Structure 1
Amino acid sequence: MPRISEPTVAEHRARQLRTLLDAARALVAEEGIEALSLAALARRVGLSRPSLYEYFRSKDDLVAAIVEEELPRWAALVERALADPPDLVGKVTAYIRVQLEVMTDGRHAAAVALVEHALAEPARERIREGHAQLLRPLVNALADSGVPDPELRAELVQGIVDAAATAAQRRSDRPGAVIEAAVAQAVHGCVGIRPDAGQPAARAS
Structure 2
Amino acid sequence: MPRISERTVAEHRARQLRNLLDAARALVAEEGIEALSLAALARRVGLSRPSLYEYFRSKDDLVAAIVEEELPRWASLVEAALAGPPDLVGKVEAYVRSQLEVMTDGRHAAAVALVEHALAEPARERIRDGHAQLLRPLARAFAEAGVPEPELRAELVQGIVDAAANLAQRRPGQAEAIIAATLDQAVHGLTLPGRLAAS
- By how many angstroms is 1:119 displaced? 0.8
Shift of 1:39: 0.1
**Counterpart of 1:139 in 2: which secondary structure?**
helix
**Superposition pairs of residues 1-205 of structure 1, within 5 angstroms:** 1-192=1-192, 200-201=193-194
Q: Which runs of 4+ in 1 moved over 4 A?
A: none
CA distance in 1, matches of 2:5, 2:134: 36
Give how far 1:190 is off. Answer: 1.6
Q: How many angstroms does 1:113 deviate by?
A: 0.3
Q: How much does 1:6 deviate?
A: 1.2
Cα shift readout 1:104-141 (whole Å, capped 9, x = no counterpart):
10111100100111111111111001110000000000
SS for the counterpart of 2:146 is coil
Over the aligned positions, Cα root-mean-square deviation in angstroms equals 1.2
Measured after TM superposition, the shift of residue 202 of structure 1 is: 5.4
Bigger shift: residues 167-176 or 17-26: 167-176
**Normalising by structure 1, what TM-score?**
0.94
Q: Distance in 2 between matches of 1:65 and 1:156?
A: 26
The share of aligned pairs that are identical, in percent, is 83
Paired amino acid for 2:146: G
Higher helix content, 1 or 2: 2
Question: Which residue is 1:197 aligned to?
Answer: none
Residue ranges of structure 1 left out of the alignment (5+ in a row): 193-199
Give the counterpart letter for 1:154 in structure 2: A
CA 202–56 in structure 1, closer or farther in 2 if over 3 Å, else same: same
What do residues 66-112 of structure 1 show as CA deviations (whole Å, max 9, x unaligned)? 00000000000000000010000000000000000001101111001
Query: Could you tell me how far apart the structure 2 residues matched to 1:17 and 1:106 are?
Result: 21
Task: Give the gaps of 5 or more residues in structure 2.
Answer: none
Deviation at 1:170, TM superposition (A): 2.4
Q: How many residues align?
A: 197
Aligned partners of 1:184 and 1:171: how far apart in 2?
19
Give the counterpart letter for 1:201 in structure 2.
Answer: G
Instruction: Quote how far apart the aligned CAs of 1:191 are.
Output: 2.2
| TM value normalised by structure 2 | 0.96
Offset at residue 51 of structure 1 (A): 0.2
